[in-house]
């Protein structure tokens, strides 16, 4: 099949594109190569994908409508997977306009182009942050998601709503998947696993927010990629409605799906897992909750399992060990 993926120089986009290429699919990548974090890391991901003859990459911003239209037209994709976005919950407090430009304007461009070409399945990355500080656990796709705590979460919820309207108006089959704290090799340096491992290796303090009383439903990146690929073959329609728990709209071929294992881990247990993998004890600095943070995330995987037959299951200790091995192997080469 032919896939068009935005954000292929990013953490998740890189892993998804590489897996699809290894499976023999054609992948057209699109990435703005923004300087939000190390360009050296993004360039290394891009270079790894460029080794595949079936990969074609375009470097341009989502807001550049002409460049995006040309890249999609050249790819003629069966599936569009829109992963590119301005990431980072905390950064959205400092620079909300970056999220307006990329996550709203850029995503609208994707929606409108998908409508124009009549793509078979449009897939959009959303986030567990849309649940805000929901008191209901686990977080189910049918829960209310109208109280985002950050502009990042609000921008992702807005994309879901815009996508639903386009699915209704133009019958574009659309799946929005909500990620839960994805980690693994090649991850972003601003994410907690990367920051903690780097600080411990360099014998520096790690900053532990919320006095360590938070918990997260961690998802290893290979599990996430499995779920995206599984869902790519299940374009939303009445023929695959799951009674009782589905978010499949009654007005449009649109569905939102959690991608998480439903096994939250306390922050202090998470740190102990990293310490065991490194064989080194962290120096800890306890801090209060940061603005926009939530105490916990906890995915219901019921809908994902009903649709695909499986859910993320790689254990945290396995995933952290693989990430630590990758980091230690590449830290000098990539200036990590």
Half-sphere exposure of residue 251: CA atoms within 13 angstroms, side-chain side: 8
The CA-atom distances, in angstroms, between 35 and each of 5, 43, 134, 197, 268 are 19, 11, 33, 22, 31
The CA-atom distances, in angstroms, between 176 and each of 28, 158, 221, 261 are 20, 12, 17, 17
Q: Which residue(s) pair with 227 in the sheet? A: none
Write out the DSSP string of 235-276: ---GGG--TTT----SSSSEEEEEE--S--EEHHHHHHHHHH
Which residues, including other chains, have CB under 8 Å from residue 184's CB and lie 6 or more apart?
A: 11, 15, 220, 221, 222, 319, 322, 323
Any catalytic annotation for residue 152?
Answer: yes
Point out the catalytic residue in the list 152, 183, 220, 327. Answer: 152
Instruction: Let me know: does 247 contact 303? Beta carbons within 8 Å.
Output: yes
The CA-atom distances, in angstroms, between 310 and each of 26, 153, 221, 301, 319 are 25, 27, 15, 9, 18
- CA triple 245-142-12, angle to 5 deg: 95
Catalytic residues: 152
């Amino acid at each position: 099949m032919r896939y068009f993926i935005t954000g292929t120089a990013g953490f998740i986009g890189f892993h998804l594109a590489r897996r699809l290429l290894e499976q023999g699919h054609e992948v057209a990548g699109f990435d703005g190569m923004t300087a939000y974090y190390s360009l050296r890391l993004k360039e290394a991901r891009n270079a790894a994908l460029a080794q595949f003859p079936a990969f074609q990459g375009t470097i341009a911003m989502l807001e550049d409508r002409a460049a995006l239209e040309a890249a999609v037209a050249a790819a003629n994709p069966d599936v569009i997977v829109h992963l590119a976005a301005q990431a980072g919950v905390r950064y959205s407090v400092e620079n909300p306009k970056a999220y307006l430009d990329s996550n709203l304007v850029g995503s609208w461009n994707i929606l409108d182009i998908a409508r124009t070409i009549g793509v078979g399945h449009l897939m959009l990355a959303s986030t567990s942050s849309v649940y805000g500080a929901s008191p209901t656990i686990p977080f189910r796709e049918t829960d209310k998601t109208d109280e985002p705590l950050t502009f990042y979460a609000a921008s992702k919820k807005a994309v879901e709503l815009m996508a639903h309207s386009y699915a209704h108006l133009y019958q574009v089959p659309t799946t929005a998947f909500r990620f839960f704290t994805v980690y693994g090799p090649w991850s972003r340096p601003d994410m907690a696993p990367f920051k903690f491992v780097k600080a411990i290796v360099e014998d520096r303090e790690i900053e532990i927010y919320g006095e360590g009383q938070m918990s997260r439903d961690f998802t290893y990146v290979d599990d996430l990629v499995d779920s995206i690929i599984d869902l790519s073959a299940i374009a939303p329609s009445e023929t695959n409605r799951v009674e009782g728990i589905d978010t499949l709209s009654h007005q449009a071929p649109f569905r939102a799906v959690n991608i998480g294992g439903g096994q939250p881990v306390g922050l202090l247990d998470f740190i102990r897992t990293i310490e065991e993998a490194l064989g080194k004890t962290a120096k800890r600095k306890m801090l209060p909750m940061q603005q926009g943070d939530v105490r916990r995330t906890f995915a219901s995987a019921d809908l994902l399992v009903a649709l695909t037959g499986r859910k993320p299951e790689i254990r945290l200790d396995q995933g952290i060990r693989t990430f630590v091995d990758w980091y230690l192997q590449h830290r000098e080469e990539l200036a990590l």
